[in-house]
């Protein structure tokens, strides 16, 4: 475990192992006071203790963002935060890149209920369909599939019935580049005639 925090900490691998801290999951699921106590009892130098605590905080930040996007799909999915973190899927965007087979394998590893797997697969399908119609407008626009779904735009017709100031907010939220906004705006104008 030590080396995964920082190369200089590899000398502590056996200490981490003996304490049951042998993975990112066991490490980050340890409450901070317990971790601090462990570091003090093991007489870690202050510099190394600081590195370890900082790593704990960094992983905790990632974990919180994983839980947040899982909860945005369904509150019941938040229990899989540690599992997704352990499998290296740290964001909805990363998840959207997975194939159906990858999603199924991931759900097996984290012990996901079938009903929860269906929720995630349905979300992936929304993103896939969104990418398809965006690419139909222009191939470059496919990259915004996930961001558009997050912004609540699921179909091309959603763009046509959205007020222009709301569209601007959606494009801002989805991080659409100015040149790509122009393409979308031209498409909207052509369909609105």
Cα–Cα dist 90/87, whole Å: 8
Contact 100, 124 (CB under 8 A): yes
pLDDT at 2: 47
pLDDT digits (tens, 9 = 90+) for 121-177: 888 888 889 999 999 999 988 888 888 888 888 888 888 888 788 888 888 888 889
pLDDT at 22: 67
Please, which residues have CB within 8 angstroms of residue 51's CB and are 6 or more apart in sequence? 5, 6, 8, 9
Cα–Cα dist 114/107, whole Å: 9
Each residue's pLDDT, cut to its tens digit, for the chain (193 residues) gives 544 555 556 666 777 777 777 666 777 778 888 888 888 888 778 888 888 888 888 888 888 888 888 998 888 898 888 888 878 888 877 887 888 888 888 888 888 999 999 988 888 888 889 999 999 999 988 888 888 888 888 888 888 888 788 888 888 888 889 999 999 989 988 887 6
Cα–Cα dist 186/35, whole Å: 56
Cα–Cα dist 183/181, whole Å: 5
pLDDT at 7: 58
């Amino acid at each position: 475990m030590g080396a995964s925090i920082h190369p200089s900490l590899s000398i502590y691998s056996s200490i981490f192992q003996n304490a049951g801290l042998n993975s990112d999951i066991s490490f980050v699921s340890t409450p901070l006071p317990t971790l601090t106590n462990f570091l003090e009892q093991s007489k870690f130098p202050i510099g190394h203790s600081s590195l370890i605590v900082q790593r704990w905080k960094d992983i905790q930040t990632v974990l919180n963002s994983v839980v947040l996007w899982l909860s945005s799909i369904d509150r019941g999915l938040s229990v899989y935060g540690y599992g997704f973190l352990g499998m290296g899927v740290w964001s909805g965007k990363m998840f959207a890149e997975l194939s159906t087979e990858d999603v199924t394998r991931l759900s097996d590893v984290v012990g996901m209920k079938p009903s929860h797997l269906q929720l995630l697969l349905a979300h992936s399908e929304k993103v896939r369909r969104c990418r398809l119609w965006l690419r139909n407008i222009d191939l470059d626009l496919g990259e915004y599939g996930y961001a558009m779904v997050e912004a609540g735009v699921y179909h091309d017709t959603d763009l046509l019935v959205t007020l222009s100031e709301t569209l601007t907010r959606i494009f801002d939220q989805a991080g659409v580049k100015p040149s790509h906004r122009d393409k979308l705006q031209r498409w909207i104008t052509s369909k609105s005639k």
